[in-house]
Amino acid sequence: MDTRLADFIRDTGAGQEAEQILRSCVHCGFCTATCPTYQLLGDELDGPRGRIYLIKQVLEGQPVTEKTRLHLDRCLTCRSCETTCPSGVRYSHLLDIGRQVVEAQLPRRAGERLVRFALREALPRPAIFGPAVKLGRMLRPLLPSSLADKLPPEAAGREQPWPVRSGHQRRMLALAGCVQPSLAPNINAATARVLDRLGIELFEESKAGCCGAVRFHLNDQAAAKDDMRRNIDAWWPQVEAGIEAIVVTASGCGVQVRDYGHALADDAVYAEKAARISELCRDPSEILVAERERLLPLLPKAVRGKLAFHSPCTLQHGLKIRGTIEEFLVAAGFVLTPVAEAHLCCGSAGTYSILQPKLSKQLRHNKLAALNAGSPKLIATANIGCLTHLQAGSLLPVRHWIELIDEAMA
């Protein structure tokens, strides 16, 4: 794609990256076939190719309009288009650049700014979010559905004990995150119990917090990078002490941590450390793959019924992990039901379900129809956002897959 970037961005790092990405796009349109919003709306500007044209126009100096922002806001950042693209266009990085420029050139209305400010400031802080969740559960009937949807029943969030410190020689860090400790604290605890049986000690670092994804995707990239630097500082002593990995049980956070090296590449102080953190980042399924020979004998033969697995976009398109978790669930005794169009997003996408409730609910309706088609007794997934979003519309329980492996091993 021929580009002529405007002076305000041409010679910047972001401009050089954007130009490289734009030039790799060959206009083929394969991406539209797998774009969830294009499938719903049928508008070229609500597909990756159309959004790339909009970003190109903005970076070439054409005026930013509300129409431009509308179509960029509607993008889920699901990265399905990146999986489909034969040219390897890094669309998500281009979208981050385009959204930041649009945000700087066209201020939002006061109401929109207030909502986004509240999300940026509340969600990444467990000290605020935790009490808010408790209050929200009490006031659920009075809340807008877009907020009530985010609150799973209290029973779903009960944490079972972590293993007693074992003295295992092999040690790994876990990202506690920001919303997961309040919504589903048992996910990390279950991961710790599974790894303990494999001779690995998993522990959290209390000084670490939000991975930065919430603020980054709400276009407060400076604050998001501060979140990343704080985590790096918190983890670095353990990195120097020789931890094997940083285990991230929410695939959405995993994509963000895996991207630290890219996000902080121009930071003279943190670039090298950020790259090392990205190298150490692992989804639990990647750990279990490496321990497959030791894990499988610990899964007793049992018939556990039919299960539908929802593979989050961040897992299959962001981390490029496909088929691994399904293998372990089958080994644990579950019969996996087929899920049509499994590549499409469920509509959660971080804060998208709050900011774009209509589209989000349409996508959830479609996803649940596909998940329920095989009459499963249970739905499993790999990301806290998808879990809470799907559970809000599902009569079936929705669980994190690592909890099911933990229960099977127990």
Domain match, 326 and 283 both: no
The half-sphere exposure of 205 on its side-chain side, counting CA atoms within 13 A, is 24
Residue type, 98: G
Judge whether 166 and 143 are in contact, CB under 8 Å: no
Q: Specify the CATH number for the domain of residue 60.
A: 1.10.1060.10
pLDDT tens profile 310-342: 999 999 999 999 999 999 999 999 999 999 999
Question: Quick check: is 55 in a domain?
Answer: yes
Looking at 262, 287, 312, which one is the last position of a domain? 287
Task: Say if residue 166's pLDDT is above 90.
Answer: no
DSSP state letters, 11-44: TSHHHHHHHHHHHH-----GGGGG-HHHHHH--G
**pLDDT at position 20, please?**
95
- Cα 113 to Cα 117: distance, rounded to the nearest angstrom: 6
- All residues at 6 or more sequence positions from 392 whose CB lies less than 8 Å from its CB, including other chains: 148, 149, 150, 152, 364
Could you tell me the residue range of the domain that residue 73 belongs to? 7-105
List the structure tokens of 290.
């490496």
In a domain? residue 200: yes
- Long-range CB contacts (< 8 A, 24+ apart) of 402-405? 402/187, 402/190, 402/191, 402/194, 402/249, 402/284, 403/186, 403/187, 403/190, 404/307, 404/329, 404/332, 404/334, 404/378, 404/380, 405/190, 405/194, 405/288, 405/299, 405/328, 405/329, 405/332
Q: Are residues 259 and 315 in the same domain?
A: no
Q: How confident is the model at residue 156 (pLDDT cuts 50, 70, 90)?
A: low
Q: What is the pLDDT of residues 24-78, one digit of tens each?
A: 999 898 999 999 999 999 999 999 999 999 999 999 999 999 999 999 999 999 9
| Angstrom distance (rounded) from CA 234 to CA 280 | 14
Q: Is residue 135 part of a domain?
A: no
Does the residue 136 lie in any domain?
no
Residue 259: both structure tokens together: 């991207």
Q: Residue 232: give its domain's CATH number.
A: 3.40.50
270 assigned to some structural domain: yes
pTM above 0.85, yes or no: yes
Closest CA to 380 of 309, 314, 313: 309
Residue 236 lies in a domain: yes
- Residue 383 belongs to a domain: yes
- Do residue 247 and residue 272 come from a single domain? yes
Whether residue 173 sits in one domain with residue 253:
yes
The total of structural domains in the chain comes to: 3
Is 122 inside any structural domain?
Answer: no
Strand partners, 336: 307
Given this model, what pLDDT does residue 133 score? 77
336, 272: one domain: no
Same domain membership, residue 95 and residue 36:
yes
Separation between Cα atoms, residue 238 and residue 245, nearest integer Å? 10
In this structure, are 195 and 283 located in the same domain?
A: yes
Verify that 184 and 92 share a domain, yes or no.
no
- 384 and 342 in a common domain: yes
Residues 169 and 271 in one domain: yes
Q: How many CB atoms lie within 10 A of CB 106?
A: 14
- Residues 283 and 316 occupy one common structural domain: no
Q: What number of other Cβ atoms are within 10 A of residue 207's Cβ?
A: 11
Q: Show the tokens assigned to 353.
A: 């379900």
Among 236, 253, 287, which residue terminates a domain? 287
> 276 and 391 share a domain?
no
Domain boundary among 72, 105, 138: 105
